[in-house]
């Protein structure tokens, strides 16, 4: 019985997604898609040489193969990019999340006693590349967090910016914009070492002329939303300049057309979902990126507490804007700048209640949105010279008016109770019929 199982395992090649360390007698038929160079290393365990290469299987999944010392030189001399090999007797080593550059959680370690031989008659067809390109225009419709491969001409490539993570550790990021034959462009945010890698591969080599728009393939980037649909790098993301893929030719031809020379359209933000207020309340686990459209009427503005003192200190041409804490002797303190101040910049955090036929909800307008709505900056509204009449004149321009709101809904807790926090992203007035306008005018006049 055991013999049969072993015979089967040795006879039929396995696929990368079925590899695990308790399955010893595997055979993998795979094509070498990337042959790395031999690197010298020097660490606590001593010094030596290391070789990495990548293999893909019949399903298009890939795995990293690592060889040390003698084996590094041995396999470097033996393997060729593009060739299919039968690999067995390797050991599997777990690769921590964040260090992976393949779809597998394992990497294969090959030693001198492992077997790697050319496979002239593979049992199944093995793709020549691990790319599954998605046209840029199609990325708009894909769910957030989907892994995609894209290829396009680089139209913009930013400097590397350093930033600090929430846990205080530092990281770096850069952005690259590419466009393809669909006439759309997309921005990819690269994180960590990938920024340096992009700089290296996009930099013209000193013996070669600079390419105006190098063609870049990005493998395994993730869809996300940041002022429209964009891509972000993941630990498994790989970059390739002018890879040997059939898509290159059609892209190069397209780049010579007049259509390609005009600017490409960036992907827009995902279309917001239209919801009634009752449905917003019923929404228990809102997606933080989800935008909701609601047509509703403003029925109350909280003018008792509509703004907060913000730090007016300007650093690197940017205003700090941190909410100030009231200190002693009528001063304020900015915890970000660690400074006490007597001046401040008032910014809106205007809470208002809106209503549709199904219910009411409290929503918050931050500075830009509230300024567009009321037409006066919070500083001006806060001026003590403003009379109650002035305030009322401003409020009645929006009170009982109906708008098409775009909200961001996020879960939050208030006094230990879970609730939804609804922030207005944008609002546009909805045309009202004359009867309604007259009714509102009559009502407001009556209250004056
Ligand atoms: Zn500050």
Check: CB of residue 266 under 8 Å from CB of residue 231: no
- Cα of 384 vs centre of ligand 1, distance in Å, is 24
- Cα of 354 vs centre of ligand 1, distance in Å, is 33
Rounded to an integer, the average pLDDT of 273-292 is 76
Rounded to an integer, the average pLDDT of 401-411 is 86
- Cα of 312 vs centre of ligand 1, distance in Å, is 7
Place of tokens 């199944």: 124
User: Which tokens is 286 given?
Assistant: 């809102």
Q: How confident is the model over 53-63, as pLDDT tens digits?
A: 889 999 888 89
- Cα of 123 vs centre of ligand 1, distance in Å, is 66
- Cα of 164 vs centre of ligand 1, distance in Å, is 17
- Cα of 346 vs centre of ligand 1, distance in Å, is 13
- Cα of 335 vs centre of ligand 1, distance in Å, is 7
> Could you give the CA distance from residue 156 to residue 219 in angstroms, rounded to a whole number?
18
Whether the predicted pLDDT of 2 surpasses 50 = no
Burial class (CB in 10 A: 0-12, 13-18, 19+), 109: middle
Out of 24-33, 287-296, 323-332, pick the least confident: 287-296
Looking at per-residue confidence, does 167 or 439 come out higher? 167
Q: How confident is the model over 232-268, as pLDDT tens digits?
A: 998 668 888 888 788 888 898 888 887 777 767 777 7
Tell me what percent of the residues of the chain surpass a pLDDT of 90.
35
- Cα of 311 vs centre of ligand 1, distance in Å, is 5
Helix (H) or strand (E) holding 120: none
DSSP state of 96: -
Whether the predicted pLDDT of 281 surpasses 90 = no
User: Which tokens is 242 given?
Assistant: 């002018």
- Cα of 158 vs centre of ligand 1, distance in Å, is 28
> Could you give the CA distance from residue 350 to residue 371 in angstroms, rounded to a whole number?
10
Q: How confident is the model over 366-382, as pLDDT tens digits?
A: 988 899 899 889 998 88
pLDDT of residue 437: 66
Helix (H) or strand (E) holding 419: strand 417-429
- Cα of 424 vs centre of ligand 1, distance in Å, is 25
pLDDT band for 302, please (50, 70, 90 cuts).
very high
* C-alpha closest to that of 313 among 322, 305, 304: 322
Rounded to an integer, the average pLDDT of 117-145 is 86
- Cα of 324 vs centre of ligand 1, distance in Å, is 8
- Cα of 279 vs centre of ligand 1, distance in Å, is 39
Estimate to the nearest angstrom the gap between the alpha carbon of 393 and the chain centroid.
43
pLDDT of residue 24: 82
- Cα of 127 vs centre of ligand 1, distance in Å, is 56
- Cα of 339 vs centre of ligand 1, distance in Å, is 7
Whether the predicted pLDDT of 23 surpasses 90 = no
pLDDT of residue 210: 64
Whether the predicted pLDDT of 290 surpasses 70 = no
User: Which tokens is 203 given?
Assistant: 């930099």
Q: Does this model's pTM top 0.75?
A: no
User: Which tokens is 421 given?
Assistant: 């926090």
User: Which tokens is 102 given?
Assistant: 């393949």
Whether the predicted pLDDT of 207 surpasses 70 = no
DSSP state of 14: B
Whether the predicted pLDDT of 101 surpasses 70 = no
Whether the predicted pLDDT of 319 surpasses 70 = yes
- Cα of 307 vs centre of ligand 1, distance in Å, is 17
- Cα of 326 vs centre of ligand 1, distance in Å, is 13
> Could you give the CA distance from residue 424 to residue 296 in angstroms, rounded to a whole number?
12
Out of 181-190, 266-275, 355-364, 434-443, pick the least confident: 434-443
pLDDT band for 76, please (50, 70, 90 cuts).
very high
């Amino acid at each position: 019985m055991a013999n049969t199982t072993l015979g089967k395992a040795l006879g039929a090649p396995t696929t990368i997604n079925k590899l695990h360390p308790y399955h010893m007698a595997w055979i993998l038929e795979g094509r070498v898609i990337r042959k790395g160079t031999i690197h010298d290393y020097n660490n606590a365990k001593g010094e030596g040489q290391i070789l990495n290469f990548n293999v893909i299987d019949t399903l298009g999944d890939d795995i990293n193969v690592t060889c040390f010392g003698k084996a590094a030189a041995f396999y470097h001399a033996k393997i060729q990019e593009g060739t299919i090999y039968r690999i067995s007797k390797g050991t599997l080593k777990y690769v921590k999340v964040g260090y992976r550059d393949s779809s597998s959680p394992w990497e294969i370690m090959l030693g001198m006693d492992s077997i790697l031989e050319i496979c002239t008659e593979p049992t199944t067809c093995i793709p020549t590349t691990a790319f599954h390109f998605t046209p840029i225009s199609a990325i708009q419709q894909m769910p957030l967090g989907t892994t995609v491969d894209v290829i396009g001409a680089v139209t913009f490539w930013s400097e590397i910016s350093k930033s600090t993570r929430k846990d205080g550790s530092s990281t770096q990021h850069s952005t690259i914009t590419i466009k393809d034959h669909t006439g759309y462009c997309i921005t990819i945010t690269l994180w960590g070492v990938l920024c340096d890698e992009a700089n290296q591969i996009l930099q013209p080599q000193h013996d070669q002329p600079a390419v105006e728009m190098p063609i870049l393939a990005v493998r395994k980037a993730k869809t996300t939303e940041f002022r429209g649909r964009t891509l972000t790098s993941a630990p498994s993301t790989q970059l390739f300049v002018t890879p040997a893929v059939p898509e290159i030719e059609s892209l190069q031809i397209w780049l010579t057309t007049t259509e390609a020379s005009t600017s490409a359209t960036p992907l827009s933000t995902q279309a917001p979902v239209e919801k009634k207020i009752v449905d917003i309340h019923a929404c228990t686990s809102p997606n933080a990126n989800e935008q909701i459209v609601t047509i509703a009427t403003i029925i109350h503005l909280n003018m008792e507490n509509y703004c907060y003192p913000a730090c007016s200190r300007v650093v690197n041409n940017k205003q700090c804007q941190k909410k100030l804490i009231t200190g002693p002797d009528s001063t304020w303190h900015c915890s970000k700048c660690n400074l006490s101040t007597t001046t401040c910049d008032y910014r809106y955090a205007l809470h208002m209640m809106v209503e549709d036929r199904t219910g009411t909800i409290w929503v918050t307008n931050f500075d830009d949105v509230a300024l567009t709505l009321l037409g006066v900056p919070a500083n001006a509204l806060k001026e003590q010279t403003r009379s109650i009449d002035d305030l009322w004149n401003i409020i009645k321009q929006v009170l009982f008016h109906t708008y098409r709101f775009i909200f961001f809904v996020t879960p939050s807790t208030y006094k230990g109770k879970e609730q939804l926090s609804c922030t207005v992203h944008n609002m546009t007035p909805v045309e009202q019929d004359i009867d309604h306008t007259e009714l509102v005018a009559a009502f407001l006049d009556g209250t004056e």
